[in-house]
Amino acid sequence: MGVVSEKPLPYGRQLIDEADIDAVVSTLRGDWLTQGPKVAAFEDRLAELTGSKHAVAVANGTAALHLACLAAGVGPGDTGVTSTITFVASANCIRYAGGRPLLCDVDPETALLDLASLRARVAALAARGTPPKVIVPVDMTGAVPDLRAVREIADSVGALVIEDAAHALGATYGGGRYRAGGGAHAQMATLSFHPVKHITTGEGGAVLTNDDALHRELLDRRTHGITKDPSRLRRNDGPWYHEQQSLGFNYRISDLQCALGLSQLEKLPRFVERRRELAALYDRELGRLSEHVSPLRVPEGCSSAYHLYVVRIRAAEGLPLSATAERRLSVYTKLREANIHPQVHYIPVHTQPDFVDHGLGEGDFPGAERYYAGALSLPLFPAMTDDDVLRVVEALAAAVR
């Protein structure tokens, strides 16, 4: 094969401009590098844009999930439920808090939580007298599952809902009535600001909530479980005095990161709109490949924020899933040879060796198996041009022939 001269196209990447650089440099020249005013300003703006009452910015998205589980009271002997198609952190956060995560299947056409699987899992746990403490629905690829139904299931057994909204900043559901992370149907929601997400702080995350008590718990747990609030101290030796009242962590985020985040948030509407434009172009151009490739379906009433653009590679009718997986590998390899770098999101959690070894992979997941066999994430990020999309589609057309 000849030398590939076209630029590499990753599945996702950040978009940083001079305003972002200036914001960080300005903070570097100021008095605060961490635990300063930019953190609170970033949290206020994030809460405003998502429609939540409170935002607690933290070191990364995994830290956000962990703190949410701790604030929800998850501990040894508790269980939590999440999807098997997700990044492992959505399940690991329950383990970090001492609980036991159990998994549910997904709809292979959307990669979102299958409600029948969730109901069955929750009912089985309740029948054993061990209802879940938390349910963690995942906003996969930028689309939001039926959170109203998830909340009804959770309320029936007294569980809290923690929306993993890392893929969905800027998304809406319920025909536009509700914003991802806004707290209409979840007591808490978590975000990630990794460079491939909608905005970036380098590394970073946040927990959103409308509950004042949960907000206070999250703030304490973010900083070693320490409080300086005079009204809460058991004694007070002076203005310097503080108390560790619970076991917390150093999950703080810096002013430098939040300065970048504030600048990025101002561009969020433009970033999300561009992702939607690119996704619409993919949808249109991939129509001629429908025999071989099908984009994930976005649920009715949901306006996806398109963190990812996932297609499912199809094999000939009647062939086993192994044939689909083989074809997906072939397509992946051919795209890489064309300097296009797709990805697979995600390997089912129930197949991960650590989950299998600890008895956490139990259950039947036919939807997840069908989804995973053919799933492929194509390049999608705001700096892409329309011509980049056409290039990916042409390479994909050649790869599936």
Q: What is the pLDDT of residues 103-130, one digit of tens each?
A: 999 999 999 999 999 999 999 999 999 9
Mean pLDDT across the chain: 97
Beta bridge partners of 294: 312
pLDDT surpassing 90 at residue 265: yes
Query: CA-to-CA distance for 7 and 382, rounded, in angstroms?
Result: 16
DSSP secondary structure letters along 93-145:
HHHHTT-EEEEE-B-TTT-SBPHHHHHHHHHHHHHTT---SEEE-B-GGG---
pTM above 0.85, yes or no: yes
Greatest distance between any 2 Cα atoms in the chain = 76
Q: Read off the pLDDT of each residue in 340-353 and give the average, rounded to a whole number.
A: 98
Q: What pLDDT sits at residue 374?
A: 98
Using the predicted structure, report yes or no on whether residue 159 has a pLDDT greater than 70: yes
Q: Which runs of consecutive H residues, i.e. helices, occur in 56-104?
A: 61-71, 89-96
Mean of the pLDDT values across residues 17-25?
A: 98
Residue showing tokens 């209802």 = 131
What is the reported pLDDT for 272? 98
Tell me the average pLDDT across 189-204.
98
pLDDT given for residue 401 in this prediction: 87
d(CA 274, CA 270): 6
Residue 6 confidence (pLDDT)? 87
- Give residue 232's pLDDT band: very low, low, confident or very high (50, 70, 90): very high
Q: How confident is the model at residue 316 (pLDDT cuts 50, 70, 90)?
A: confident
| Tokens at 364, concatenated | 């039947």
Model confidence over 50-72: pLDDT tens digits?
Answer: 999 999 999 999 999 999 999 99
Q: Please, are residues 20 and 264 in contact by the beta-carbon 8 Å criterion?
A: yes
- Assess contact for 166 and 346: CB atoms under 8 A: no
Band (pLDDT 50/70/90 cuts) for residue 360 is: very high
Check whether 14 has a pLDDT greater than 60.
yes
3-state helix, strand, coil in the chain (%, to 5): 40, 15, 40
| Calpha distance 345→341 (Å, rounded) | 13
Q: pLDDT value at position 2?
A: 44
Peptide bond into 372 cis (omega under 30): no
The set of residues, in sequence order, having a beta carbon less than 8 Å from that of 152 and lying 6+ positions away, is none
Task: Give the CA-trace dihedral at 177, 183, 189, 194, to 10 degrees.
Answer: 50
C-alpha angle 136-375-332 in degrees, rounded to nearest 5: 140
Nearest to 62 by CA among 94, 93, 100: 93
Structure tokens at 76: 């040894």
Side chain identity at residue 281, one-letter code = L
Tokens of 157: 């057994």
Taking residues 294-318, what's their average pLDDT? 96
Q: What is the pLDDT of residue 379?
A: 98
Using CA atoms of 274, 277, 283, 288 in order, give the dihedral in degrees to the nearest 10.
Answer: -110
Burial class (CB in 10 A: 0-12, 13-18, 19+), 239: exposed
6 compared with 78, residue with greater pLDDT:
78
Q: What is the pLDDT of residue 5?
A: 60
Measured CA distances, 400 to 10, 110, 134, 156, 331 (Å):
20, 22, 42, 47, 6
Q: 59, 62, 67, 69: which is closest to 261 by C-alpha?
A: 59
User: Which domains are assigned to the chain?
Assistant: 18-265 (3.40.640.10), 268-400 (3.90.1150.10)
